[in-house]
Amino acid sequence: MVEVNPPIPEKLISFYRFIPTARKPIRADASAGGTIPTRSFRYCEPIRTASSFGWYMFPPMDFGLLWDGSDVLWSHAGQPEWKPLARQHFPNFSKYFDERAPADCKGYAVPFLGSMPEPGIVNIWSGWVARSAPGWNVLVRPVANLPQPGGWENYEGVVETDRWFGPLFVNIRLRRTGIPILVKRELPLFQVQPLPRWLLSDKVYNSFDIVPSMDDLTEADWQAYRETVVIPQSAANRKLGDYAARTRKRRKGDGGGDTGAPEK
């Protein structure tokens, strides 16, 4: 039996801005930035729920990446020419950091970009640091249901942000060579989602069962199938979005609220 932690704390996570021009995180959008088809947005609650789960993080500036299959180059508006990327600080950030950091922290500003030893892998910092409530981690992942710009894909990672007060970053894998890839400040770079640490335990992952055949379904299983599949599809005047309506009503009753688009 897995022990579940206490209810959600009053303040689940705090975001700390280090790069002064970094765009603020925002609540993830149930419409995935308006890209989900209208019918899916109205009636497909699984898509809405997944899309609105967590917060969007943005790159702190527009910049370009260029991979030749071996080396990664980068450029931005203040540096139009392409230069090799190793470890690169955000423009003027080292000075900004040292002017505000305690004496023993000076010189330890976090790089904005880094080319990893593995070919085509780039580390990008959002300019933010996060601290979550005790017992809570965050999952760093691609933006849910929002098509990724061409040319790269995000790695996913789970960070113990209640214990590790460090940069919120993402590692990306470049997928094309010889063609510039533009990373734009106006588009979410990745999504962070809160996870209670107990959810990551082996007890949880080992707590599963397999029903090997339809012959092994119980009458309770078949009744659930009737309610989910048979009755809705056999109804003369099937009501669209019944699952969505019931789920939203239940969520509001649980105090979860709606999953509509956030205020911009």
* pLDDT tens series, the chain, 264 aa: 555 555 778 899 999 999 999 999 999 999 988 888 888 888 888 899 999 999 999 999 999 999 999 999 999 999 999 999 999 999 999 999 999 999 999 999 999 999 999 999 999 999 999 999 999 999 999 999 988 778 999 999 999 999 999 999 999 999 999 999 999 999 999 999 999 999 999 999 999 999 999 999 999 999 999 998 998 888 766 666 565 566 666 666 665 554 444 333
For residues 93 and 224, state if they share a domain.
no
Residues 171 and 246 in one domain: no
For residue 69, is it left (φ>0), alpha (ψ between -120 and 50) or beta?
A: left
Beta partners for residue 173, in sequence order: 121, 153
Looking at the fold, whether 199 and 81 belong to one and the same domain comes out as yes
Domain identity same for 153 and 97: yes
Give the rounded distance of the alpha carbon of 177 from its chain centre. 26
Q: DSSP for 219-240?
A: HHHHHHHIIIIIHHHH-TTPPT
**pTM for this one?**
0.84
Cα 78 to Cα 11, 50, 121, distances in angstroms = 39, 37, 24
Name residues whose C-beta falls within 8 Å of residue 11's C-beta, 6 or more positions apart in sequence.
133
Contact 196, 1 (CB under 8 A): no
Are 181 and 218 part of one and the same domain?
no
- Residue by residue, DSSP assigns 131-161 as EE-TTEEEEEEPPTTSPPPTTEEE--EEE-T
Phi and psi torsions of 76, nearest 5° = -155, 180
Select from 94, 101, 18 the least CA-distant residue to 60: 18
Is there a domain that residue 227 lies in?
yes
The CATH number that applies at residue 157 is 2.70.40.10
* Cα–Cα dist 167/110, whole Å: 7
Q: Which domain holds residue 222?
A: 214-253
18 and 97 assigned to the same domain: yes
Is residue 98 situated within a structural domain? yes
Residue 147 near residue 35, CB atoms below 8 Å: yes
> Is residue 172, in this structure, part of any structural domain at all?
yes
Q: What's the residue count for the chain?
A: 264
Query: HSE (CB half, 13 Å, CA atoms) of 1?
Result: 2
Tell me if 118 is assigned to some domain. Answer: yes
Cβ neighbours of residue 107 closer than 8 Å, sequence gap 6 or more = 98
Domain count for the chain, please give it: 2
DSSP label of 21: T
Do 89 and 135 sit in the same domain of this protein? yes
**Residue 144 maps to a domain:** yes
Q: Does residue 30 belong to any structural domain of this protein?
A: no
Residue 99 and residue 138 in one domain: yes
∠ CA(138), CA(141), CA(143), 5° rounding?
120
Q: Are residues 111 and 73 in the same domain?
A: yes
Residue 36 maps to a domain: no
